Amino acid sequence: MDQAVGWATARARTPGIVKTAFARHDTGQSIETLRRQLGDDPLALVILFVSPNADASVVIADAERAFAPTPIVGCTTAGELADSGYCEDQIVAIGLPQSHFDIRTVLVSDLNEFESDSIIKEMIHNRNTMMANAPDWSHEFTFLMIDGLSTKEDELTSELAVGLGPVPLFGGSAGDGTKFGRTYVLYQGQARSNAAVLTQVRTRCPIKVFKTDHLLPTAYRMVVTKADPAKRIVQEINAEPAAREYARILGKDPEQLTTFTFAAHPVVVQIGGQHHVRAIQQVAGNGDLVFFSAIDEGLVLTLAEPRDMVEHLQEEISLLTEKQQPDTILGCDCILRRLEAQQKQKTHAISDILSRHHVVGFSTYGEQFNSIHVNQTLTGVAIYPPEKE
């Protein structure tokens, strides 16, 4: 993981609409520190992004008591996006004030046996209720946090698309650092695995939901010829053992494949005229490749090469800020982007951009954008001050 914690200098910031707070997880006073920083304005919701080194069950139980009656949602991370950019061992808190946001949350308690029809019905009911409550607020988005080791992200996001209507969705898969042991979403005082939390938001603030990656497809293509889709495992590529063939195409030793290799040389698929990353998580002991997202036999994978991360991120942030500076950007940033920044010694520069533009959130095991689960991307929502303010 990134050891360059706190390289970027935290900027003093004029209090904005969206409240943000940051604290180390191991001080013994983390939740109280966050509560003080968020202030006394009535909040519609508090979102917590919690270091995997913290005890998630203790954090959410303490937060539920400290912030009552404000509802709390959150998840564990593969690193945090805090006031100084890329950070570790933090708890990031985001407060959405009642003066600007109306919120409804939906728990998917069991990703193995969820009923999409009932979830969609609840989503539509929530949206209608919020429209009735705040008819003059015309901006909406949906935010999803999901167990990053469940392998159910593709299925859930696809099923939920029916209930979204015109409302954009983005999200991130909960992380566990680089351990890939167990991840949690946080809801109603409990840390839950094999679960997801959907947050529906109606706001008076203009918003822009976005997805971006810095990858360019090359001419190198490969075909998945043997796979276990349920486990996201590819056993053969081009009728050869998967890891060995991937390494051959890269011109590398298959014994030397690492997460840094996968971050630097991802593969993409074409869906609807656009490329979407299908990132490799690790090499199994038998030489299979384990992926972060859906994979199947017959899928054509295209090798991609990255652009300069710093230059690309600055361009994308410029698009979000060209007409108006966002109050806050809530971001879900893939762990592979963090690892690539570390390997290429760009952590400081990336953190500087994130900090200057108040991008807060977490590093993920995968990202969601509308009906698609993706990897090695930055998804999020830019939240702008209302024109009257």
Q: pLDDT per residue over 215-269, tens digit each?
A: 999 999 999 999 999 999 999 999 999 999 999 999 999 999 988 898 888 899 9
pLDDT at 15: 66
Q: pLDDT per residue over 163-186, tens digit each?
A: 998 999 999 999 999 999 999 999
Average pLDDT on 312-330 reads 96
* Rounded (10°) CA dihedral 206, 209, 212, 217: -130
Please, is 162 exposed, middle or buried when counting C-beta atoms within 10 Å of its C-beta (0-12, 13-18, 19+)? Answer: middle
pLDDT over threshold 70, residue 10 = no
pLDDT at 389: 56
pLDDT at 11: 37
Q: Can you give the pTM of this predicted structure?
A: 0.91
Tokens read off for 254: 């298959």
pLDDT at 314: 97
Could you give the CA distance from residue 268 to residue 300 in angstroms, rounded to a whole number? 9
Would you place residue 9 in the very low, low, confident or very high pLDDT band (cuts 50, 70, 90)? Answer: very low
Average pLDDT on 141-151 reads 97
Closest CA to 163 of 130, 200, 109, 203: 200
- In this prediction, what percent of the chain has a pLDDT beyond 90? 85
pLDDT over threshold 80, residue 33 = yes
pLDDT at 311: 97
pLDDT at 108: 97
CB 212 within 8 Å of CB 316: yes
